[in-house]
Amino acid sequence: MPHVKLTIDIPETTWIGEISAQNPELIFKVIASMPGEDTGIGLVRLIATDPLPVITDIQAREDVEDLALLWKHEDEALLQIRTSNPILLLPVWRAGVPLTTPFDIENGQAMWESTTSPNSLSRLRTQLEDLGIGFSIEHVRAIDANPADQLMTERQQEVLLTAVREGYYRTPRDATLGDVADVLEIANATCSDTLHRAEGHIVHWFVEEQMDVQPSE
């Protein structure tokens, strides 16, 4: 079963898309949502230097039917909002895809994550395209797969494990790059290139998954 992470371009025809795009410093955290064909209800945490003007702006939108302020602190507020334009959540509702919550909306974009069936994922993509909602797929990963298989080829795993076993990563090193290459019976340049690629995959995975940062290309 795949786990998918997507970046969604929120239509500016929605209240949250327009306000978010106009105020990129704002953060909306969607805690829960109940979408439907004609209406949608969301529990939204607003993070802003001063939430009150933003709340007033939200209330003034034509597609906001009701807004309840559940609580407010200095720079945060929890809102329950009913909208008559639930286009943002229509794709997941129609495709039957459960979203991981909370998810953030910032600068006109949402970060969605879901674990679902391949068929449901395919339906979600179709629904997004049919509704004209722009998106990019950050990754699709099989959650029942070996994590090492997702990161590296079998050859890269073999070279990396050999380097670890021979002491290449100890401090001080017990083996040189040449020693590792000799054990594998490959050229030093091939060993170096394969190790570099394996290390790169591991570093990018750690930065993205464990530190929640997107490495630059």
pLDDT over 70 percentage in the chain:
91
Q: What is the pLDDT at residue 208? A: 72
Residue 190 within a domain: yes
Give the pLDDT score at 28: 97
pLDDT in the model for residue 202: 85
> Are 5 and 111 within 8 A, CB to CB?
yes
Query: Is residue 162 a part of any domain in this protein?
Result: yes
Of the three residues 142, 161, 190, the one that is the final residue of a domain is 142
Residue-level pLDDT at 64: 97
In this predicted structure, what is the pLDDT of residue 148? Answer: 54
pLDDT of residue 216: 54
Is residue 100, in this structure, part of any structural domain at all? yes
pLDDT of 209: 64
Model confidence over 58-85: pLDDT tens digits? Answer: 999 999 999 999 999 999 999 999 999 9
Is pLDDT at 95 greater than 80 in this prediction?
yes
Please say if the pLDDT value at position 150 is more than 70: no
Q: What mean pLDDT is predicted for residues 128-151?
A: 77
pLDDT at residue 146, as a whole number: 54
Same domain, 132 and 158: no
> Do 29 and 127 fall within a single domain?
yes
Q: What is the number of alpha carbons within 13 Å of residue 58 lying toward its C-beta?
A: 24
Q: What is the mean pLDDT of residues 19-41?
A: 92
Quickly state the pLDDT bin for 183 (edges 50, 70, 90): very high
Quote the number of domains for the chain: 2
- 136 and 159 share one domain: no
Whether 192 and 136 share a structural domain: no
Q: Which residues span the domain enclosing 133?
A: 2-142
Work out the percent of the chain whose per-residue pLDDT is above 90: 67
31 and 66, same structural domain?
yes
pTM above 0.95, yes or no: no
* pLDDT at 154 > cutoff 60: yes
Same domain, 102 and 153: no
Average pLDDT, the chain: 89
How would residue 204 be classed by pLDDT, with cut points 50, 70 and 90? Answer: confident
Q: Give the pLDDT confidence score for residue 139 in this predicted structure.
A: 80
Please indicate, yes or no, whether residues 86 and 129 belong to a single structural domain of this protein.
yes
- 58 and 128 fall within a common domain: yes
Q: What is the DSSP string of the chain?
A: -EEEEEEEE--TTSHHHHHHHH-TT-EEEEEEEEE-SS-EEEEEEEE-SSHHHHHHHHHT-TTEEEEEEEEE-SSEEEEEEEES--TTTHHHHHHT-PPPSSEEEETTEEEEEEE--HHHHHHHHHHHHHTT--EEEEEEEETTS-HHHHHS-HHHHHHHHHHHHHTTTSSS-SS-HHHHHHHHT--HHHHHHHHHHHHHHHHHHIIIIIS------
Q: Is the pLDDT of residue 205 over 90?
A: no
Q: Is the same domain home to 49 and 134? A: yes
Res 143 pLDDT > 70: no
